[in-house]
């Protein structure tokens, strides 16, 4: 039971941060009309997944109470334009009259607020936003509930990150987002934390590591005009594409500066960055292993080429190739150990390139009778 009104409001604010669309009822000894909570048909998993506080925070869709208050009291043309563009960097009031100033700031209960305004109007009500430079800024908060988005374009060193998560981040109640681990360079680390419990699980590959995505763009340039593709490419920054840290952090009484410093210390140093992904793979990694439940090619892995030993055919040999289920075509071998320039190191070299009698060029991925064989006739 909570008797203190400030504590009740603190809990309310926290729930709103976690789920901005949730209905909140205050009760005494859990007394509530059952019709308010039973068979309401308000729960929808798809809607919930899109309305979660962490996701809205990432998208910049959450409007915090102090922002709403500021907009409600701010009537100046320039101020309205600032809010319309989503900046809201605080108002310097050198140009405002005392009357306007008092009207604008009637919601400000700071003891020295009016005093400050009468001496050059130096007091500013501000709420920060991400400025696109990789730095997230605290939105400010009432009742000690704070949220911000941690953004960086460097990977975490898993050993240093493990030490931090093992002790937990003091004051952080909830954090969720996407993370980049140096030792698991091509796959998204899905970051999920509640209280002192942290989970960093394997997600899909980063788009920059998804060869099917890249190949589709090369083969169908018109896809670049699709809004969904454009949204994906907005996250690309050379040389690492869409790989990044983007984590919403919600807590009580936390300092954004301190939490950011703790996480920054887990990032690779400039010297470590220069070593590159092949060396990063050898770093100590005490984080739990991920299930290999997502098929994708690893840019940095070197393919096993043992299948190229003792090839059966030589250049000029007539062969028959399987070009479709139960369909064979005649041709001749024109190259051994074939590789396309677009293949990543992880893709195995093809034993043969073949020119079919129809004039088409194909390759045989395996030296096996199920793929390539001597002509039957």
- The DSSP annotation for 171-197 comes to TEEEEEEEE-BGGGTTEEEEEEEETTE
pLDDT recorded at residue 28:
75
Provide the 3-class DSSP secondary structure of residue 31. coil
Where helices occur in the chain by DSSP H, the ranges are 5-18, 45-51, 53-59, 65-73, 77-84, 98-104, 113-117, 158-167, 211-219, 227-233, 256-264, 270-275, 277-280
Query: What pLDDT digit, counting tens, does each position of 193-228 carry?
Result: 888 889 999 988 999 988 778 888 888 888 899 988
Residues 154 and 267 sit within 8 Å (Cβ to Cβ):
yes
Separation between Cα atoms, residue 37 and residue 23, nearest integer Å: 10
CB distance 190 to 200 below 8 Å: yes
Q: Over the stretch 325-344, which tens digit does the pLDDT of each residue have?
A: 788 999 999 999 999 887 87
Residues of the chain scoring pLDDT < 50 = 64-142, 295, 297
pTM as predicted: 0.52
Q: Please give the order of strands across the beta sheet that includes 350-356.
A: 361-364, 350-356, 327-338, 318-324, 372-373
Residue 26 has a pLDDT of: 79
pLDDT of residue 214: 83
- Number of Cβ within 10 Å of residue 162's Cβ equals 19
Report the alpha-carbon distance of residue 315 to residue 334 in Å, rounded: 5
């Amino acid at each position: 039971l909570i008797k203190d009104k400030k504590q009740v409001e603190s809990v309310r604010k926290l729930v709103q941060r976690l789920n901005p669309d949730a209905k909140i009822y205050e009760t005494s000894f859990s007394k509530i009309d059952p019709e308010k909570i039973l068979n309401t048909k308000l729960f929808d998993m798809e809607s919930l997944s899109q309305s979660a506080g962490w996701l809205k925070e990432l998208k910049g869709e959450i409007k915090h109470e102090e922002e709403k208050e500021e907009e409600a009291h701010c009537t100046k043309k320039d101020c309205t334009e600032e809010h319309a563009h989503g900046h809201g960097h605080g108002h310097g009031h050198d140009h405002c009259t005392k009357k306007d100033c008092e009207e604008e700031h009637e919601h400000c209960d700071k003891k020295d607020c009016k005093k400050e305004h009468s001496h050059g109007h130096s007091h500013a009500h501000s709420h920060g936003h991400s400025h696109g430079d990789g730095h997230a800024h605290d939105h400010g908060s009432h009742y000690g509930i704070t949220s911000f988005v941690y953004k960086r374009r460097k990977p975490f060193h898993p050993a240093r990150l493990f030490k931090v998560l093992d002790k937990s981040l003091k004051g952080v109640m909830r954090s969720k987002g996407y993370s980049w681990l140096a030792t698991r360079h091509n796959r998204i680390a899905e970051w999920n934390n509640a209280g002192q419990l942290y989970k960093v699980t394997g997600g899909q590959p980063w788009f920059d590591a998804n060869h099917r995505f890249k190949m589709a763009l090369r083969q169908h340039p018109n896809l670049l005009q699709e809004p969904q593709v454009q949204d994906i490419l907005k996250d690309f920054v050379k040389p690492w594409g869409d790989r990044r840290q983007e984590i919403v952090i919600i807590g009580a009484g936390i300092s954004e500066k301190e939490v950011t410093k703790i996480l920054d210390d887990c990032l690779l140093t400039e010297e470590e960055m220069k070593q590159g992904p092949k060396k990063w793979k050898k770093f100590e990694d005490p984080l739990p292993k991920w299930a290999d439940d997502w098929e994708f090619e690893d840019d940095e892995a070197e393919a096993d080429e043992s299948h190229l030993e003792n090839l059966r055919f030589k250049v000029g040999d007539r062969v028959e190739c399987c070009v479709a289920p139960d369909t064979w075509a005649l041709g001749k071998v024109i190259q051994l150990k074939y590789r396309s320039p677009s293949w990543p190191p992880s893709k195995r070299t093809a034993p043969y390139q073949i020119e079919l009698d129809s004039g088409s060029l194909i390759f045989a991925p395996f030296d096996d009778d199920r793929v390539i064989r001597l002509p039957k006739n």
